[in-house]
Amino acid sequence: MELNIYHMYPEVLNLYGDMGNILCIKRRCEWRGIKASIKNFSVNSKTHDLKDGDIFFIGGGSDRGQNIVCSHFTKYTEEFKEIIEDQGVVLAICGGYQFLGEKYVDSDGKEVPGLGIFNYSTLNGEGRLIGNIIIENQIGITPKTIVGFENHGGRTYSDYKPLGLVKAGYGNNEHDMKEGIVYKNCIGTYLHGPLLPKNPHLADYLILKALEKKYGIKNLKELDDTLEYSAHEKVVEMYSK
Ligand code: GLN
């Protein structure tokens, strides 16, 4: 068995250790005897074909980076939309999450167009939303908590099902207590950190979705995550209100 992991624009979108998410998926596959190949999808690559990707990861970036990526990615919008509709697995973080929507209005009031795959928008607000965040996941994985770190000026307003409900921190915006979005096997979220090593249950959720789509697999071999979950629990203990 083999999974192809596409790392989208690693040279531009890689804030706060987002790269760790890719390594986490790769290692958790390899520990189970599943081959995981990482492919960098970059502005400088000559040719691209996204169809053989099983998991797509888009990290966060600066407003400048978001602009570069967005204008480059536009020509792949239809292909990527089809991949999402066809249950392709996508994890998009912060700037990556914002740019799957219709637009991001930056701190100077300048509009950065999004891919428009989803109909939410992000507007810069006063002050940045920074700090540790705990959410209660809405995708049915155990433990219920997902922990991370957020740092964004944009506030996203969306009617999609959220990835989680905010227990500590801000999430999509500081008002509606929702964090991220879930649509089929696509997850958008503000949680950096990196997210997956802190939340092995979410990493396995994505791996299993990809294996299910490709090979019809319904269960993953258990790993010893004692250390990972004790770190997770510690964060929950420290930051829960
Ligand atoms: N530029 C976006 C914001 O500040 C995203 C930043 C990020 O990816 N951390 O809202």
Q: Measure 194 CA to ligand 1 centroid, in angstroms.
A: 15
> Which residue shows structure tokens 């008002």?
175
Cβ of 176 closer than 6 Å to ligand 1, yes or no, is no
Is pTM beyond 0.85? Reply is: yes
Q: Shortest CA distance to 198 belongs to which of 148, 234, 151?
A: 148
Give the distance, in angstroms, between the CA of residue 196 and the centroid of all CA atoms in the same chain. 9
* Helix count and strand count (H, E) for the chain: 7, 12
Phi and psi angles of residue 237, each rounded to the nearest 5 degrees, phi first? -60, -45
Whether the CB-CB separation of 181 and 161 falls below 8 Å is answered with: yes
Per-residue pLDDT of the chain (241 residues; tens, 9 = 90+): 999 999 999 988 888 788 899 999 999 999 999 999 999 999 888 778 899 999 999 998 888 888 888 889 999 999 999 999 999 999 999 999 999 999 999 888 999 899 999 999 999 999 999 999 999 999 999 999 999 999 999 999 999 999 999 999 999 999 999 999 999 999 999 998 789 999 999 999 999 999 999 999 999 999 999 999 999 999 999 988 6
Q: How many domains does the chain have?
A: 1
Protein residue closest via CA to atom 1 of ligand 1 = 63
53's tokens? 């990707």
> Which ligand 1 atom sits nearest the alpha carbon of residue 154?
10
The enclosing domain of 234 has a CATH number of 3.40.50.880
> Which ligand 1 atom sits nearest the alpha carbon of residue 151?
9
- Residue-number span of the structural domain to which 225 is assigned: 2-239
Q: Measure 93 CA to ligand 1 centroid, in angstroms.
A: 9
